[in-house]
Amino acid sequence: MKDWPEKLFRTLKESGVRQVGYVPDAGHKRLIELCIADKEMRAVVLSTEEEGIGLTAGAWLGGVRGALLMQSSGVGNCINALGMTRECRFPLLMLITMRGQFGEFNPWQVPMGQATPGVLSAMGVVVHEANSAEAIAPMVDAAARLAFGSYQAAAVLISQAVIGIKSFQEQAAR
């Protein structure tokens, strides 16, 4: 099921998401392209993932639903800002592509990847783990309902098993 980014994008649209903050990531490449191309969406490229916590909080203050796309390595950059999300009960929808998890070749990705669910849970973010392409869109739909309906922070972790195992050799061959 290679069209999971298209399905995920439609789910975001149907959930009323109109502002998307992102730090570029190979796993989210297609989804980012779809967000940039959509006239109703505002795609905001961030210099670090932490900025997206403020961005989406500001959007909610202004009556707009936001989502945040990042790789698992960026989760650690968000930790202190997530304290605001929790204290203010800001809705937050995080879509996280996993590294350091399933057949990872880069050892530097492993510590943050392995700690990602625990770090999010520790900051009060409800974690959904999508281990197959089919599971992603329904899970994002549920996470969006939890975020915007129940004013919660919710994350969907997209497994490295779905995205594929990256290696520098494969990238060089492209």
Residue ranges that bind another protein, judged by CB under 8 A: 19, 42, 44-48, 50-64, 66, 80-81, 83-84, 87-90, 148
Q: Which residues is 22 bridged to in the sheet? A: 45, 69
- Toward another protein, which CB reaches closer, 52 or 117? 52
Least separation in angstroms between CB 148 and another protein: 8
Cα–Cα dist 134/33, whole Å: 21
- Toward another protein, which CB reaches closer, 10 or 86? 86
Exposed/middle/buried for residue 10 (C-beta within 10 Å: 0-12, 13-18, 19+): middle
Least separation in angstroms between CB 80 and another protein: 7
Least separation in angstroms between CB 45 and another protein: 6
Cα–Cα dist 96/68, whole Å: 8
